[in-house]
């Protein structure tokens, strides 16, 4: 899946402990082993300059 917006993402499992900083247009990394989530959700947008 391609990152739609640069920022900090967390797994959608609700555990709140897995996060990833991603850049728009790149591919999301796979979820960590043992994570029960199905993908990444945006937690904080990257600042626009």
Give the pLDDT of the chain (49 residues) as one tens digit per residue.
899 999 999 988 877 667 889 999 999 999 888 888 899 999 999 987 6
Q: Which of 14, 33, 31, 13 is nearest to 22 (CA)?
A: 31
Check residue 17 and give its pLDDT.
Answer: 66
Query: 33, exposed or middle or buried, with CB in 10 Å at 0-12, 13-18, 19+?
Result: exposed
Under 8 Å between Cβ of 13 and 36: yes
**What span, in angstroms and rounded, lies between the C-alpha atoms of 29 and 26?**
9
pLDDT at res. 43: 92
pLDDT for the residue 16: 65
What is the value of pTM for the model shown?
0.80
With a CB cutoff of 8 Å and minimum separation 6, the contacts of 48 are: none
What are the residue ranges spanned by the domains of the chain? 7-45
């Amino acid at each position: 899946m391609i990152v739609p917006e640069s920022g900090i993402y967390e797994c959608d499992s609700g555990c709140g402990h897995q996060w990833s900083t991603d850049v728009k247009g790149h591919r999301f990394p796979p979820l960590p082993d043992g994570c029960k989530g199905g993908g990444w959700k945006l937690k904080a947008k990257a600042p626009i300059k």
